[in-house]
Amino acid sequence: MNPCRRYEESVIPFLHQELGRKKVITLQKHLSQCERCRGYLDELGHVFQVIENHGAFNCNAQVTGVRRPLYPVTQPFRAE
């Protein structure tokens, strides 16, 4: 599913919780109204889940001994 061009670049930082507060609020408002962007967000969430389930971990595990998922586990966005 293709997201709206205006919001496409915000979705991945949103999933990684790297988006500023104002942009998060703006994107959440948009997601509550846009099926295309919600679908894109859900697709990416599923992709990140598959990556995690197949054992993709970050390089810090070698240094710290702590294994953390490369991508955060996300739940599909649900408009309230």
What is the C-alpha separation between 49 and 63, in angstroms, rounded?
24
User: What global pTM score does this model have?
Assistant: 0.63
Question: Percent of the chain beyond pLDDT 90?
Answer: 49
Question: Would you place residue 65 in the very low, low, confident or very high pLDDT band (cuts 50, 70, 90)?
Answer: low
Write down the domain spans for the chain.
5-64
**Residue listed under structure tokens 């790297």:** 18
For 5-41, how does the pLDDT look when each residue is reduced to its tens digit (9 = 90+)? Answer: 999 999 989 988 899 999 999 999 999 999 999 999 9
User: Cα torsion for 3, 12, 46, 76, to the nearest 10°?
Assistant: -70
The pLDDT of residue 51 is 79
Q: Under the phi-then-psi rule, with left for phi > 0, alpha for psi from -120 to 50, and beta for the rest, what region is 65?
A: left
CA separation, residue 39 to residues 21, 24, 56, 63 (Å): 22, 17, 24, 37
